[in-house]
Amino acid sequence: MKVIRARILGYCMGVRRAMDMAEKTLKQRSGPGRVFAMGPLIHNPQAMDALKGQGLEVLDGDELPLDLSASTVIIRAHGITPQLELTLVNRKAHLVDATCPKVKASQLKARALHEEGYRIFLAGDRDHGEIIGIQGYAPHCILAANSTEAAEAAKKLLREDPEARTALIGQTTISPAEYRAIEERIRSFFPALELLDTICGATEARQDSLRSLCAEADAIVVAGGRSSANTRRLLAIARQEGKPAWLVESPAEIPPETRTFKTLGLCAGASTPESLIGAIEKALLKEGPEP
């Protein structure tokens, strides 16, 4: 069997930055102080297990200790709401902000547009940490996971406020094609829609790299966590390209069907560590094709 790696795979800049900040914080801690992550720092179970092994504890907003004065709280790469950040400050936590700079830029753009009176359409996964965080900076955002939802929401807004100034912000990992489709549907109701270029360039390059890989491989294995939005999008793209494709979180999850292909493409999400990519590649080569 031949395994071809995608040209771009593994940690993106934002994830690498968050991991480096967390590892540095854990190494430098002293005394009995605890180190928390505000939600999963990144969306990969192996990477999170490694950090937990170094002492990291993961919190959600419903279980915050009342006194965090002896604790450090690392803000996840996807960001949090300013309201939650204020709660952490009021409880005297020492904050380490590992929010991806691209996400932080989206947060600040959303706040500025909201303050200027814009009605903001927010394109992405409504349950994703990044989208939840941005909503805290711009209350009353209009969420749209796809072009159909965008059209329905825009039509409703046109009835309620035909003179509304509108803007569109996308999740940094949304597919460019989906973002364009959402834009087109909203613009058909609001021609003056202000479109913000918030898609991370690394996300688009990673997806283009996968499309090139699909031209060389018989099937695709996507390495990464199922909770990772960008990893799930890679799986969807591979299938859209007409390739059999599987998402695996560990070598143990490699399906037996992969053995029937002579050439496999291997790609990985932005939060997938190189150690996992290497382990999956090694397992694929060890299995080999059926005779």
> In a 10 Å sphere around its CB, with 0-12 CB exposed, 13-18 middle and 19+ buried, how is residue 286 labelled?
exposed
Which pLDDT does position 32 carry in this prediction? 75
Cβ contact 173:134 at 8 Å: no
Structural domain of residue 79, as residue ranges? 13-100
Domain finish residue from 85, 100, 115: 100
Same-domain check for residues 78 and 106: no
> At a CB cut-off of 8 Å and minimum separation 6, what does 10 contact?
268, 270, 272, 273, 274, 277
Same-domain check for residues 183 and 207: no
Nearest Cα neighbor of 11 from 225, 282, 269, 234 is 269
Which pLDDT does position 288 carry in this prediction? 56
- Please compute the mean of the pLDDT values over residues 233-260 and round it to a whole number: 96
Per-state percent for the chain, helix, strand, coil, to nearest 5: 45, 15, 35
The catalytic residues are 130
- Please compute the mean of the pLDDT values over residues 34-60 and round it to a whole number: 93
Residue 206's H or E segment, with its range, is helix 201-214
Measured distance CA(34)–CA(265) in Å, rounded = 42
Q: What is the CATH number of the domain that holds 26?
A: 3.40.50.11270
Res. 291: pLDDT tops 60: no
Summarize pLDDT for 147-197 with one digit per residue, the tens.
Answer: 999 999 999 999 999 999 999 999 999 988 999 999 999 999 999 999 999
- Please compute the mean of the pLDDT values over residues 269-282 and round it to a whole number: 95
Same-domain check for residues 17 and 7: no
- Three-state secondary structure call for residue 270: coil
Which pLDDT does position 111 carry in this prediction? 98
Domain finish residue from 162, 195, 228: 195
Domain finish residue from 195, 222, 242: 195
Same-domain check for residues 246 and 189: no
Same-domain check for residues 187 and 108: yes
- Please compute the mean of the pLDDT values over residues 26-41 and round it to a whole number: 88
Same-domain check for residues 186 and 110: yes
Same-domain check for residues 85 and 55: yes
Binding residues for [4Fe-4S] cluster, by number, are 12, 100, 200
Same-domain check for residues 52 and 87: yes
Res. 33: pLDDT tops 80: yes
Res. 5: pLDDT tops 70: yes
Question: What is the total count of domains within the chain?
Answer: 3
| pLDDT band per the 50, 70, 90 thresholds, residue 61 | low
Q: What is the CATH number of the domain that holds 214?
A: 3.40.1010.20
From first CA to last CA, the distance across the chain in angstroms is 11
In the structure encoding, which two tokens stand for residue 190, read together?
Answer: 């609001």
Same-domain check for residues 35 and 65: yes
Nearest Cα neighbor of 169 from 190, 183, 156 is 183
Measured distance CA(185)–CA(165) in Å, rounded = 16
